Every structure is written in C-alpha cells, then in structure tokens.
Amino acid sequence: MIREEIEKFLSLQACPSCKGARLKPVPLAATVHGLSVHEVTGLSIERTYDFFQDLRLDPKEAAIAERFSKRSVSGSGF
C-alpha cells in the first residue's frame, strides 16, 4: 500500500549525463574501434565474441580492450 502511494511520484528516466549507462564520464569516453564499454556490453554474446576476435590493437589499445573484455564478461552474468 505504501509502495503504491510512493510509486505515484516516481518516474523512470535515464540520467542525462550517462544516458542510462551507469558509468562515469571517463569510462564512457574511452573507446576501442569506435565503441565504448557501454556499447560493447550491449552487444549480443556472438557479436561481442566477434568484436574481440577481430581486434588488432597497439599496446595502449590492448590495455583498454582487456578492461572492456573483463567488464563485458562480468556484465553478461557469465
């Protein structure tokens, strides 16, 4: 009963800063081959696998991509 009363005053809105990604600006700004960590984690499992298999990176990009990979796997629930 109380929950229903409170829900009248709530609305679902994406954060205007991160647009619902729930990440701070720095992680959102980093990209590998044009995709942010948020965009990579939104890919299908098959597309994520292909994305990482097809990457050819310099050492700096490789360090960023390793973080993406860890985030993608942990974000997918596997």
Write down the pTM of the prediction.
0.55
Q: Residue written as tokens 């050819």? A: 56
3-state secondary structure (DSSP) of residue 41: helix
The secondary element (H helix, E strand) that includes residue 31 is strand 31-32
Q: Are 74 and 66 in contact (CB under 8 A)?
A: no
What angle do the packed helices 45-53 and 59-76 form, to 10 degrees?
160
pLDDT tens for residues 17-67? Answer: 888 788 888 888 888 888 888 888 889 999 989 988 888 888 887 887 777
